[in-house]
Amino acid sequence: MERKIFEFHCHYLFKMSKQEMLDIFKEEFENTDVKKVCFLSIPQEYSSKGELIINKDQNELGLFLKKSFSPNAYAFAGLVHPKKYYSKEEIKKDFLKQVESYYEQGFDGMKMLEGYPTFIKYTGQGIDSEIYDDFYKFCEEHRFPIVMHVANPDENWNILEADKYAIELGRVYDSTYPSKEEITNQVFNVLKKFPRLTLILAHFGFFSKHYEDAERFMSYQNTYLDTTPGGEQFIHISKELNKWMPFIKKYQDRIVYGSDFYAFIKDENFEISYKRRPTFLKQYFETSSTHTYLGEEFKGINLAKDILEKIYYSNAERLLGSPKKIK
Ligand SMILES: [Zn+2]
């Protein structure tokens, strides 16, 4: 059987020329069986110290990449935020205007990093803030999908449990941050208001220790989970397969493959960098043997071929349809 991957979670944040980026993506896609791809824009983010990082031209670059890999590529735009949250009414209007324009330009959906703990802390805006109401309403009415990053692994709220990478990167949260539970509840507040929203939670929603939340989230009609590691999420799941395997089977039509793909810089670690997460997912889904990921041992869950095919490819294709025309 030919291995076919629809990569739903691809970023393009490393600095390089456009041509270099195209060449690198091409090589990486070929070597990881990626046949279709969804490029996700991140126009701004917050460092662990609260500095606002502006990634210029992310939306524009997303459309450029989509065009370059047409007809096998899709692009999701990101909202560009104001520097200060001066007037909620004005921002609400601006976000609506932005999403209308992205829709018109030929984007296929929206990416939201707004559920990241630092983002919420430093903007003071939860993902259920009224500034997003008209934006969500538009997305719901136009079946314009949103890929959303919500919270982070549970361990990141506990310095004693957090892994060394999280600590190094400053991704450990004290009481000045919203709690994981608070952020997850914000998602449910959004769904209460917009129950037909097409909402894809990245990293399996970081639900691996919150089975009830996962069930509750999937009880909505147009909700999806992507498989982007957080390796720890899948390692937890493999230890509680008696409850998670039935979950995966039940929702096999609404789980999509993603791996946090990037065009990595061509240094001596290039191959390791771009293959790390795809290899982890391959070992995890396709084998029942023991492997290591970032120093941690895990056992593959050996998914049935028909379920795997849906997660790898056809679910995403059905969800997105053909790419929208670029204006
Ligand atoms: Zn990502």
Q: How far is the CA of 259 from the centre of ligand 1 (A)?
A: 8
* Average pLDDT for 129-136: 98
Q: How far is the CA of 10 from the centre of ligand 1 (A)?
A: 7
* Average pLDDT for 14-28: 97
Q: What is the structure's pLDDT at 171? A: 80
* Average pLDDT for 9-22: 97
Of residues 248 and 160, the one with the higher pLDDT is: 248
Q: How far is the CA of 112 from the centre of ligand 1 (A)?
A: 10
Q: How far is the CA of 62 from the centre of ligand 1 (A)?
A: 14
Q: How far is the CA of 260 from the centre of ligand 1 (A)?
A: 5
Of residues 153 and 262, the one with the higher pLDDT is: 262
Q: Among 16-30, 41-55, 105-119, which is the least confidently predicted range?
A: 41-55
| C-alpha span between 124 and 177 (Å, rounded) | 10
Q: What is the structure's pLDDT at 318? A: 97
For 5-320, the fitting CATH number among 3.20.20.140, 3.40.50.2000, 3.65.10.10, 3.40.30.120 is 3.20.20.140
Determine the length of the chain. 327
Q: How far is the CA of 22 from the centre of ligand 1 (A)?
A: 19
Q: Among 124-128, 144-148, 161-165, 240-244, which is the least confidently predicted range?
A: 161-165
* Average pLDDT for 184-209: 97
**pLDDT exceeds 70 at position 1:** no
Q: What is the mean pLDDT of the chain?
A: 95
Q: How far is the CA of 150 from the centre of ligand 1 (A)?
A: 11
The residue among 66, 14, 7, 54 whose CA lies nearest residue 34 is 7
Q: How far is the CA of 142 from the centre of ligand 1 (A)?
A: 24
Q: How far is the CA of 97 from the centre of ligand 1 (A)?
A: 25
Q: How far is the CA of 68 from the centre of ligand 1 (A)?
A: 21
Confidence of residue 70 (pLDDT cuts 50, 70, 90): very high
* Average pLDDT for 87-116: 97
Q: What is the structure's pLDDT at 86? A: 85
β-pairing verdict for 296-299 and 5-10: unpaired
Q: Is 14 helix (H, G, I), strand (E, B) or coil?
A: coil
Confidence of residue 169 (pLDDT cuts 50, 70, 90): confident
Contact by Cβ (8 Å): 65, 73: yes
Q: How far is the CA of 147 from the centre of ligand 1 (A)?
A: 9
Contact by Cβ (8 Å): 259, 291: no
Q: How far is the CA of 288 from the centre of ligand 1 (A)?
A: 27
